[in-house]
Structure 1
Amino acid sequence: MTIERVLYLLQLASPALPVGAYSYSEGIEALVDAGMISNEQGLQHWLEQELRYGAIRLEAAVMVRAYHAVQNGDIEALSYWNQWLSAARETEELRSSSWQMGRSLMKLLLQLQPQVSPLADVVGNPCNYAIAFGIAGAAWKIEPLSSVVLGYLHSWTTNLVTAGVKLIPLGQTAGQQVILNLFPHIIDAATEILTLSDDDLCSCGWGLSLASMAHETQYTRLFRS
C-alpha cells in the first residue's frame, strides 16, 4: 500500500469521521446496566466473542462484497447486498444505526468524491454503513482489501471500547489495553472474513440481539443503541 492510500484508510477508519458512530454502544449500555459487563475483562471478553461469532463478521463480509461490486462495476450486486444486510439486521436499533451511519458516510462521500454519485443512486436510501464503507474503500482505491477489512474492524472495536470506557467506567489506559489485546482477534477475524463464501454468511448474534432489544426499553440511556 502506498503512503497516500494509508492516509486514505486512516481517514476512513478514523473516530473523527462524522458518521455518528460515537453515539452507539451496540447493546453494551444494556449489558453494563444489567451488570453483565462491569470491568475491563468483561468488555474484552464480549468484544472477543463478537469478533469470533457475531454480527460484525457479517457486516465486514458484506462490506467486502460491496468493495468488489464497485471494482467490477456490478451495480446489481451492490443493491442486492445492501438490501440483504438490511434484512439480516436483528433489531430495529441495529438496523437504524446501520442506516444512519451509512447515510452520513454517503453524504460525506458525495461531497468529497462526487463521482460516486451513480453508486449512491443505485444503492438508494437507506444505505447500510458496511455498504458505504466498501464504496469508499473502492472509490479511494485502498488496497489490499485485507487492509480495508482491518480498518473496518479496528474502527468498530475502537468505537465500542470508547463506549465501554464511558459506561463502566474505565480509565483511558485500560481502554487502550483492551484494544491492544484485541489485535490478534481482529487479525484472525479479518483473515477468515476474506475467505467466506456467500453460503457461509451467518452469525451467532443472539446475545447482541437480546442486549439490543433490552436497550430499546431501558429507562435511562446515554447511547442510541
Structure 2
Amino acid sequence: MNHQQSPNSLLNLLQLASPALPVGAYSYSDGLETLVEAGVVNTQRSLWQWLEQELRYGAIRLETAVMIRAYQSVLSENIEALGYWNAWLTAAKETTELRAQSWQMGNSVIRLFLDLSPPLPTNATLSLQDLASAAGTPCNYAIAFGLAAAYWQIDLTASVLGYLHSWASNLINAGVKLIPLGQTAGQQLLLELNTGLIGCTQEILALQDEQLSSCGWGLALASMAHETQYTRLFRS
C-alpha cells in the first residue's frame, strides 16, 4: 500500500467505505437472512466461516476485481472499458435480487457523488458526468465505487481494502441482528477477518482478466430462496 497518500485521500476513503454512506447497504443481507432462517449460519463461528469462504471463493472476489478495473479505466480515461465492465458485471449476477441490489447501490453512489461535485483531479480531461455517463445506467456498485475512488485519487490497494472491509462490516452487522449476536462479538469477528481481508486484497490485485471467476453457488441459492422467504427484515 502507498503509505504516503495524503490525509485528505484517507478521509475520502473512510467516507466512501463508511456504513453511514447513504446508499442503502444496511438494507441488504446478501442471502444471509435465508442462511440464518435455515440454521446454516447461527453462531459467531459459523458466520465467520461463511465470510471466510466467500472471501476465498465467492462473488465478492469477482466484484472487487471488477472494481479495480473500473478504477483503472477512470485513471486511463478509457470510457469504453468502463462501460464494458459494467455490462460484464451485470451479466455475472446470478439472481434478480443480487442484480437489483448492485444497481440500486451503484446508482445511489453515482447520484451522491454528482451532488457532492468533487473537483476535477489533476491532469484529468473527463468530467465526473462524462465518466458516469460512460459507465452506463443502471450502474453496478463495484463500478461506482471504483469510479469514485479513482476520481478522489485514493490509493488502489487502500481502495480494495476499503471495499472489502465495507462488505464485511455490512454482513457482520446483518448477522448481529439476525442470529443474533452481541455488538462485541460482531467487532471481534471483524477483527478476526483482518488477515483474510489483507490476503484476499493481494490475490485480487494480481488477477488477470482471464482468471476472473467465482464459486458463489451457495450465495446464489440463498438469494433465490430469500425472494420467497415468509418473513424478511432485509431486501436480499
Q: Please report the TM-score for the alignment, with normalisation by the length of structure 1.
A: 0.98
Give the corresponding residue for 1:126: 138
Q: Does 1:9 align with 2:21?
A: no
The separation in 2 between residues aligned to 1:113 and 1:181, in whole angstroms, is 37
Q: Would you tell me which structure has more helix in proportion to its own residues? A: 1
* Distance across 2 between alignment mates of 1:79 and 1:4: 29
Q: Deviations over 1:27-73 (max 9, x none)?
A: 00000000101110010000000001000000000000000000001
Query: 3-state DSSP class of the match of 1:219?
Result: coil
Could you list the per-position Cα deviations for residues 99-140 of structure 1 after superposition, in whole angstroms to 9, with x for gaps in the alignment? 000010000011112641111111221000000000000000
Structure 2 match to 1:168: 179
Aligned length, in residue pairs: 224
Tell me the alpha carbon deviations over residues 68-88 of structure 1, each in whole angstroms, 9 at most, x when there is no partner: 000001000000000000000
Q: Is the 8 A contact 2:32 2:175 kept in 1?
A: yes
Of 148, 154, 168, the residue aligned with 2:165 is: 154
Query: Distance in 2 between the 1:52 and 1:124 partners?
Result: 30
Q: Does structure 1 residue 81 correspond to structure 2 residue 85?
A: yes
Q: Aligned match of 1:69 in 73, 95, 100?
A: 73
- Percent identity over the alignment is 65
- Ranges of 4+ aligned residues in structure 1 off by more than 2 Å: none
The amino acid of 1:134's aligned partner reads G
| In 2, Cα distance between equivalents of 1:129 and 1:154 | 15
Quote the Cα distance in structure 1 between the aligned partners of 2:73 and 2:234.
Answer: 33
CA distance in structure 1 between the partners assigned to 2:169 and 2:34 by the alignment: 19
What whole-Å deviation, never above 9, does each CA across 1:116-166 have from its counterpart, x for those lacking one?
A: 1111111221000000000000000112x1000000000000000000000
The amino acid across from 1:40 in the alignment is Q
Amino acid at match of 2:217: W
1:86 alignment partner, SS class = helix
Question: What whole-Å deviation, never above 9, does each CA across 1:180-199 have from its counterpart, x for those lacking one?
Answer: 00010000110000000000
| Distance (Å, rounded) in 1 between the aligned partners of 2:182 and 2:129 | 42
CA distance in 2, matches of 1:162, 1:13: 14
Distance 1:74 1:170 in 2: 45
Structure 1: gaps of 5 or more residues: none
